[in-house]
Chain A
Amino acid sequence: MVAVIDYNAGNLKSVCNLLKKLQTDAVVVKDADSIRRADKVILPGVGAFGDAMTNLTQSGLIPVIGEVIAANKPFLGICVGLQLLFEGSEEDPDIAGLGILSGQIRKIPDGSQLKIPHMGWNNLKIKTGASLFQGIDNGAYVYFVHSYYPDVTDKDIVAATTEYGITLDVSIERGNLFGCQFHPEKSGDIGANIVQNFLDL
């Protein structure tokens, strides 16, 4: 059973629709026990870091999230769900993140020709052997919509990057902890394959 955490931070439906299409037993959960019982956990999220962190705090689920990640349960953070795993964000400097991953969420620099948010299809430079990207060609396109990105301290856990003015870290893999800054649930067949790889772990 895959638990998709509902903490009032959006895009639950899209993720669940894809999981349903992939014929996975997925349940939207709001309580700690369901998360503990799940085989795999997904933390989605759109919107501002601060709002999402506040909602997550209010949900009371922060301890169980720490618990399952420490126990190496397969865990996937998507978009803001990935960002919350880090120490903090330039978007809301007064609000601390979960601190499970070392690094800060930074604003994407707006060069002379670049529009913010980074919105649309961009291609991934994939680290060889990255589990989420098995069977996916280097250079595959996925869909992004974000103004902030994770600046990962330990580059060894960076599973994929993309270019948008600068190199952006956009996916991580540390043991069974995974994250995607892009939206696999909106990235067509490639996105479906990425999620399938997570489900197949």
Chain B
Amino acid sequence: MLTKRIIPCLDINNGRVVKGVNFVDLKDAGDPVQIAAAYDKAGADELVFLDITASSDNRDTVTDMVEKVAENVFIPFTVGGGIRTVEDFRRLLRAGADKISINSSAVNNPELIGEAARVFGSQCVVVAIDAKKRADDSGWNVFINGGRIDTGIDVISWVKKTVALGAGEILLTSMDADGTKAGYDVPLTRAVVKNCTVPVIASGGAGTIKHFYDVLTNAKADAALAASLFHYKELEIVDLKEQLTQMGLYMRIS
């Protein structure tokens, strides 16, 4: 039986893992390979590395990091952050990444989705979406540039478009829930899952085991992502998976 996936997200700045809230006050949190290996050992099903380096001059640093991670960690991992071209995809996939995530560049250049899917296969193309509820509560809008710009695009229509273009997976972050630890955004996630034929990873708001349970069952997300919850060891993946199994979910337990 296919299991639900638990995915830690590592923010990377200049080739190092960092911790911080909303990209402010970043603290060095260690070597990506060591941390990735630790998460692998702790039972993570996949990893996401998000490069948040401000400067766009650090392509080689990220490529190096991907190579080293791929040499040492043997579970699937996704790399995102500042990816703009098919060449970026090629470079990172060749370095050993399994999937590449694009966010703002997908909105600014939707053809990139189809191009990358054609050349490398949809399974390599993850479209990451930051969504925030509209003021009139009628739905959610897609935001880009680190959540700073409201594109005015409805999230459901954007999801459908990306899948039609060839996206293999959606990484959905709720801006309303992110950082609150009050739970994933179940209504948003449910709406997206209902309108999406590819797997959906829920992101933003995880605080307790029950939050994971809710988004994986009520919203039917295929996977749940969290960052600080795992980084600060507020929740251990092993405990999370055991509990979720007892609550009736299929999880990969070693």
Contacts and interface: CB of A to CB of B under 8 A. Distances in A.
Nearest to B121: A47
Size class of B's contact patch? 20 to 34
Contacts of A144: 2
Interface residues of A, number: 32
A117 B198 CA distance: 8
Interface in A156-201: 163-164, 185-189, 191-192
A182 to B, nearest CB: 11
A164 B2 contact: yes
Contact of A163 (B1, B45, B96, B122): B1
A45 to B, nearest CB: 11
Contacts of A21: 71-72, 74
Contacts of A118: 2
Interface stretch (A10-18, A31-39, A54-62): A10-18
B71 A20 contact: yes
Contacts of A46: 121, 123
B27 interface: no
Interface string A118-131: 11111100000000
Contacts of B94: 13
Contact of A143 (B76, B122, B197, B222): B76
B157 interface: no
A145 interface: yes
Given A21-B74, A186-B75, A141 B123 contact: no
A20 B45 CA distance: 22
B75 A188 contact: yes
Interface string B94-119: 11101000000000000000000000
A120 B45 contact: yes
A87 to B, nearest CB: 23
A13 B95 contact: yes
A18 B71 CA distance: 7
Given A14-B70, A163-B1, A189-B254, A117 B168 contact: yes
A117 B2 contact: no
A145 B223 CA distance: 15
B148 to A, nearest CB: 31
B199 interface: yes
A187 B74 contact: yes
B16 interface: no
A21 to B, nearest CB: 7
Interface in B67-87: 70-72, 74-76
Contact of A119 (B169, B197, B254): B169
B200 to A, nearest CB: 9
Given A119-B123, A121-B45, A17 B70 contact: yes
Nearest to A116: B197
A187 B46 CA distance: 10
Contacts of A48: 121
B121 A122 contact: no
B180 interface: no
Interface of A: 10, 13-14, 17-18, 20-21, 46-48, 115-123, 141, 143-145, 163-164, 185-189, 191-192
Q: Lowest 3 A-B CB distances belong to which pairs? A: A121-B252, A141-B252, A122-B2
7 contacts: A13-B70, A17-B70, A141-B252, A143-B76, A145-B76, A145-B123, A187-B75
